[in-house]
Amino acid sequence: MSVKITRRRLAAVALGSTAAIRSAQPQAAATGQPEDLNAAAKEQIRKNSEAMDKVDLPMATEPAFQFKA
């Protein structure tokens, strides 16, 4: 069973999602999200790096692919 999507329905969905994103932006400041997205991204990378450092991976482990120049 295939569902036929018309251009009008696709446009309505796109406009609806855009409106939802725009209405969520003022709420982001109220929920405590940082204003500086660059600083937040750097903090997330730092946290992810610390989490990866906790994993012990032996040197004998081979990657799933090979680098070739």
Summarised one tens digit per residue, pLDDT across range 20-62 is: 666 656 655 555 665 788 999 999 999 999 998 888 878 777 7
The count of domains in the chain is 1
Measuring CA to CA, how many Å separate 53 from each of 25, 27, 49?
34, 34, 6
Provide the pLDDT for residue 61. 77
Question: Does residue 1 sit within a domain?
Answer: no
How high is the pLDDT of residue 34? 59
State the alpha helices, DSSP H only, in 1-69: 7-30, 37-53
In a domain, 2, yes or no: no
What is the pTM (predicted TM-score) of this model? 0.38
Domain that holds residue 38: 7-51
The answer as to whether 69 is a domain residue is no
Residues 3-14 pLDDT 10s? 677 777 777 777
